Amino acid sequence: MTNVSSIIDDALKEGRSALLEYEANAVCSLYGVPVAKVKLAKTSSEAVKNADEIGYPVVLKIVSPDILHKSDAGGVIVNVKSADEVKEGFNKIINNAKQYKAEANVLGVLVQEMAPSSTEVIVGMTKDPTWGPALMFGLGGIFVEVLKDVSFRVAPITERDANEMVREIKAFKILEGIRGQPPADIDAIVDILLKISKLVMENPKIDEIDLNPVFVYEDGAKAVDTRILLKE
């Protein structure tokens, strides 16, 4: 079985400072963080096979170490509902990537389960030069940029720390459920924070983590976009 250190070390040996998204997904999954199902496809027919196995609808994303901002490159297509749409989407994404950056090393297209949308949160980690790994929590999606309503704790954190982080943000009322929205599963968020804390403490070559968004449901949660940066 592939372990986390080998995924990280292989990426660093290749001179990469970031894991590819399917690698980041695998790392999170190995620590029990709930993530959307993903499969890498190198051909359009392989993409169809992957989508059939995952189940429709799916999301298609470009996989390239040279394209970090996938949307800017036209490298993301959501709500793909059939085999024909997968083939068409695969070819479109590859063409868009070539037009965006002709010299980019394109490894294929990621076929990802399209998780039902829900309340979005962000779970992250950055390395503070003085204190070391600091975990971050807030509302996800565009809200984290606009509201900057986040909480921090230095890792490792306890269950009490994680609960405090969730309840500290000004927008906590949204997670409790407002205007007919069901309440978010706070225990599921706390569990993800604790697992990310363990992941960063046991793998010091991880320099930054960004799970955004994490969809939080009435029962459970799922990270649909994972980013992990590395440093020797």
Residue at which a domain ends, from 52, 81, 113: 113
pLDDT for 149: 87
Report the CATH number that the domain containing residue 142 is assigned in CATH.
3.30.470.20
35 shares its domain with 108: yes
Residue 93: both structure tokens together: 């994404």
Please check whether residue 93 is in contact with residue 62, taking contact to mean a CB–CB distance below 8 angstroms.
yes
Q: Write down the pTM of the prediction.
A: 0.93
pLDDT for 177: 86
Please check whether residue 110 is in contact with residue 63, taking contact to mean a CB–CB distance below 8 angstroms.
yes
69 shares its domain with 125: no
Q: In terms of Cα–Cα distance, which of 32, 35, 75 is closest to 54? A: 35
pLDDT for 180: 74
55 shares its domain with 124: no
82 shares its domain with 163: no
Strand partners, 229: 18, 208
CA angle 169, 188, 35 (to 5 degrees): 110
Q: Name 155's Cβ contacts closer than 8 Å, sequence gap at least 6.
A: 125, 132, 133, 134, 135, 197, 200, 201
Provide the domain limits for residue 44: 4-113
81 shares its domain with 132: no
Total tally of structural domains belonging to the chain? 2
Residue at which a domain ends, from 86, 113, 140: 113
126 shares its domain with 216: yes
Residue 146: both structure tokens together: 């606009």
pLDDT for 179: 76
Give average pLDDT by consecutive 10-residue segment, the chain, 232 residues: 88 95 97 97 98 98 93 95 98 97 96 94 94 93 72 97 96 86 94 98 97 96 96 88
